[in-house]
Amino acid sequence: MNTRNIIRLTGRLTEDPSFVTTKEGKEFQAKFSIAVSRNYKNKNGEVDADFIPCRLSREARLKTLHQAKKGHWIDVIGELRTDSYMKDGSKVYTWWVELDDWQWLPYNTPADEKGMQDNVNNSQPNGQQNMSPFPGINDQMS
């Protein structure tokens, strides 16, 4: 069996991306987090959200993130990464999504969320539904 580490999330940027640079001033990584709604309501009838840290280390895509602003809708696909370090004698674990690809979604208000599924499910020439906004991703995941 072929196993792959693939994660896909849709949510809103919780902050403007921050860019990590070398000593020479060259950008090599962008960091930000997205708020992703859970698919159920809590005991108070409200939908909670998880705040997912993301990183983009692909130099060719970094420049496009300069347009990103807090609150923008984004659809991301990547790999879940983990790391650990020692702090005060205890091991601390960290995790984030290392992005392979992403795209902006066209709606910017909660009322526009209703159209999200229509936007993501694009009709394919063979009549099948593409469950990914990334062209060809279903083929890659087979």
- pLDDT tens, position by position, for the chain (142 residues)? 566 899 999 999 999 999 988 888 888 889 999 999 999 999 999 999 999 999 998 776 777 788 888 999 999 999 999 999 999 999 999 999 999 888 888 865 554 444 444 433 333 333 333 343 433 333 343 3
Rounded to the nearest 5°, which phi and psi values hold at 115?
Answer: -85, 0
Which of 64, 78, 69, 73 lies closest to 115, judged by CA? 73
pTM of the model: 0.68
